[in-house]
Structure 1
Amino acid sequence: MQKLELKYGCNPNQKPSRVFVEKGDLPFTVLNGRPGYINLLDAMNSWQLVKELKKATGLPAAASFKHVSPAGAAVAVPLSDLLQKTYFVEGIDLSPIATAYIRARGADRMSSYGDFVALSDECDSQTASFLAREVSDGIIAPSYSKEALEILKSKRKGTYVVLQMDENFVPAPIEKKDVFGITFEQQRNNIEITDACLRDIPTAAKDLSPEAKRDLLIALITLKYTQSNSVCYAKDGQAIGIGAGQQSRVHCTRLAGNKADVWHLRQHPKVLSLPFKDDVRRPDRDNAIDVYISDEWEDLLETDNWKQLFTRKPEPLSREEKKEYIKTISGVSLGSDAFFPFGDNVERAHKSGVSYIAQSGGSIRDDNVIEAADKYGITMAFTHIRLFHH
């Protein structure tokens, strides 16, 4: 048995703590830092996610994980000029894996603060350089270039966690965990998410472009490793809003939809022209953008705190302007880890520009859900696959 002693478990009072395998070697090597219990939960889940994204799409993939759910996930689709500006990488010739990472981190920058990163392909020096500027706890990848490893080892005063994963590792088909002295056992969820699960389309609209299929697969694979209940909005090769761990399906749809709206609003001309001072740090800038987009902006203007961030007082982005901007959005894909029990989920999804939906189907109100999709010309596929993850 190979084991790795950890500092503590989920919380400092939970000692002792370790990870181990009963046979053979651990499938990862610690190249730097000292991983914690939650770090390794994030690492093992995020690695599976990016590996499956790469297999399903043929593109390098990246994920940003926080507390055992993805904050973002993406594949290496080239960035438009608008997204380059939104992600602050204008004019930079990006490698495929760096593109995937920047997209994954850019999905929900607030939630990605202090994340654990997973890459499907070798971490190159460019990706490591971008990562070095972010607040992050660690990374897992199949390999690292010499330059990338040197950059990452210098992060967080040399304590940044760097894990190298054995990409040929195949886990046992049965997994176990103990809860309150009771051992739970089940077969691993090794179902593959492919185009085949998008063939049953009960709606009047049947069109699924290659891009829509790609984005629906990204959403569904992301959900496979998101704490349930969960819904994921995706567009342009990446997740743009993930609603994890909600007890109500429509609350997932609202939460993820609100995040997707913020992702779109970050591309609004007023946001892109915010007059930040040169010395404003990246996390402070991200926080300020979220406040600017939110209804809290007026409260900030009533104080002098905005003067610490901007060279001049920004022109407000009104609630009406935000509504009108979101109304122009279309072509968004949405995946759900289980069936929609009511048409209200479709109604909320439509407000965030959703044109394509993939959900398991099987509700006694499927007819109501289909009717809601037909009302807006949404193409909806029944996957007949439930993707609960706990």
Structure 2
Amino acid sequence: MKKKRALISVSNKDGIVEFAKELVELGFEIISTGGTKNALKEGGIPVIGISDVTGFPEILEGRVKTLHPKIHGGLLAKYDDPSHQAQMSDNHIEKIDLVCVNLYPFKETISKPGVTPEQAIENIDIGGPAMLRASAKNHLYITVLVDPADYKQVIDEYKKNQGTSLETRRTLAAKVFRHTAAYDALIAEYMTNLAGEQQPEKMTVTYELKQSLRYGENPHQKAAFYQKPLGSSFSVAAAEQLHGKELSYNNINDANAALQIVKEFSEPAAVAVKHMNPCGVGTGKNLFEAFEKAFEADPVSIFGGIVALNREVDRETARKLYEIFLEIIIAPSFSDEAFEILSAKKNLRLLKVSFDGKGNKENTLSSIEGGLLVQEQDAFGFDDAEISVPTKREPTDVEWEALKLAWKVVKHVKSNAIVVSDKDRTLGIGAGQMNRVGAAKIALEQAGSKAKGAALASDAFFPMEDTVEAAAKAGVTAIIQPGGSVRDADSIKKADEYGIAMVFTGVRHFRH
């Protein structure tokens, strides 16, 4: 009986010698190339070199070795088709039963600091994807593997049934096409960025499964969490979970929202989030003081919320955090004492996130039915704005501090959005309202008497003077907004009437 043939050519050599030994014991002869061939020989496995099959040397520094009819004929032939069998016989092409290939480490190469375009391009595999795609296309006859995790299943099936089932071959082929698609997507993204293309005619993205989720926003919705290869280190996807139960779909969304807000601050800051909106933001001389301010901002809504902190959590802050029911605490690190205190709560999730990557500006993607929206992050900061003061009175130094804090926060609140704050904490937040004065009324009502002497920020311009009127009656003394309404003059006049200092930034911060 003629031996079965396996073609093996891998960059990831984990378990490959053991796998090949099992194949040989099952009656396979092994064809291999380059480094894989050497590794198998060193492992005591008889190997046929690719040149011995093709009758042609490996050329161009190994760029061309498997791209040959004697290889691809064996991968693409219909083995039960008489005309294919005849052509294979006429051209001395032998069938290949199993293919085990994984690809040049392109992702690993471009992740290295200082990698050059030449180095990256040299690690674009050509022959590997061609063999994988050919074998996966022909999975009716060929077993194709790209992942060492699948070696055992294939060996077990061969031992039990002298072959693999069509179901197994189809499952493995699907994995191959996902693998090559992801590989090409990563290359396409790299080359697109290298070429400086801003809006390519095709958007190819790839993500890797990080976690299967129990459910989505609601228990009847299935969900999963995927991570972008080489994505930002300042992210929930790249976070190290130190303690607590698994993250949920809603946890991940809220944690991401909290991180995006806390990165606005260089001074010690604490952010509490519920349902994708901040419920309290505080700053201080140290982290404990910052968290106290965030807690005081809304001690009711913070219950069951997510807290993000931009300094190491110390013992004092941990003891304060422990007193409250929280879902997640995110920080760059936790002291040993803080971790001991907080980990006493079995279900409390503690996430460690690298703040070194907070300057990254990945595009944001939003799916719609049948499409995808892509935009730059709203990274526009206060220092980028063209500030003007159209009112008779300019803000005091204290009011400027309050305005800056309110403006940093309001850009992360769902529109229509209003934030009332003093210089180191939010006092009231109105989120997601259908009209601006409605958002203002919510924020001002929450602030209550604390609104006297406070600042108010709006994510977009005032279409009417009614928001200024409401703010003035609550005691607000400074307002920051984009300006640009055809009725700006009415708002300015109303502000002057009440002695309010108003600041225009020229930039809106809609958030849907």
- Are residues 1:346 and 2:468 paired? yes
Give the aligned partner of residue 277 of structure 1.
Answer: none
Q: Which amino acid aligns with 1:203?
A: T
Aligned equivalents of 1:371, 1:179: Cα separation in 2:
42
Q: 2:256 aligns with which of 32, 44, 49?
A: 44
Q: Which has the larger radius of gyration?
A: 2
Instruction: Output one character per residue of 1:314-355: Cα deviation in whole Å (capped at 9) or x when no partner.
Output: xxxxxxxxxxxxxxx632111000001111101100122111
Equivalent residue runs for 1:131-150 within 5 Å: 131-150=321-340
Q: What is aligned with 1:99?
A: 289
Q: Distance in 1 between matches of 2:400 and 2:209?
A: 41
C-alpha deviation, 1:193, in angstroms: 2.2
Give the distance between the partners of 1:239 and 1:260, measured in 2 at CA.
8
Q: Tell me which residue corresponds to 1:369.
A: 491
1:181 CA drift (Å): 3.8
CA–CA separation in structure 2 for the residues paired with 1:198 and 1:128? 40
SS in 2 for 1:150: helix
Residues 231 and 256, structure 1, Cα contact 8 Å, conserved in 2: yes
Offset, 1:5: 2.7
Deviations 1:180-239, CA, capped at 9 Å, x for gaps: 342111111111123x64730000112x22321111111111111111110000014111
- Distance in 1, matches of 2:386 and 2:477, equals 14
C-alpha contact 1:243 1:253 (8 A) present in aligned 2: yes
The residue that corresponds to 2:432 in the other structure is 245
Kindly state the Cα deviation for residue 171 of structure 1 after the two structures are TM-superposed.
4.0
Q: 2:355 aligns with which of 167, 186, 201?
A: 167
Tell me if the contact between 2:415 and 2:511 (Cα under 8 Å) persists in the aligned partners: yes
In structure 2, C-alpha distance between the alignment counterparts of 1:248 and 1:126, rounded to whole Å: 42
* 2:208 aligned with 1:6: no
Structure 2 residue aligned with 1:35, among 238, 242, 247? 247
Moved more, 19-28 or 245-254: 19-28
* CA offsets 1:250-305 (integer angstroms, 9 cap, x no match): 0011000000106x3xxxxxxxxxxxxxxxxxxxxxxxxxxxxxxxxxxxxxxxxx
Shift of 1:172: 4.9
Q: Distance in 2 between matches of 1:349 and 1:13?
A: 43
Code of the aligned partner of 1:32: H
Please show how residues 188-199 of structure 1 align to structure 2 within 5 Å. 188-194=377-383, 197=385, 199=387
2:360 matched to 1:184? no
Greater RCO (CA < 8 Å, at least 6 residues apart): 1
CA distance in 2, matches of 1:224, 1:9: 26
1-side partners of 2:422 and 2:218: how far apart?
Answer: 36
* Residue identity in the other structure for 1:70: P
Match of 2:276 in 1: 68
Q: What percentage of residue pairs aligned between the two structures are identical?
A: 35
TM-score, normalised on structure 2? 0.56
Corresponding residue pairs, total: 299
Name the CA distance, whole Å, in 2 between partners of 1:348 and 1:222.
20
RMSD: 1.7
CA distance in 2, matches of 1:358, 1:217: 8
**CA-CA distance at 1:35 after TM superposition:** 1.4
User: So what's the TM-score if we normalise by structure 1?
Assistant: 0.73
Alignment of 1:47-58 (within 5 A): 47-54=259-266
Cα pair distance change 1:109/1:136, threshold 3 Å:
same
Measure, in 1, the Cα distance between the counterparts of 2:309 and 2:438: 30
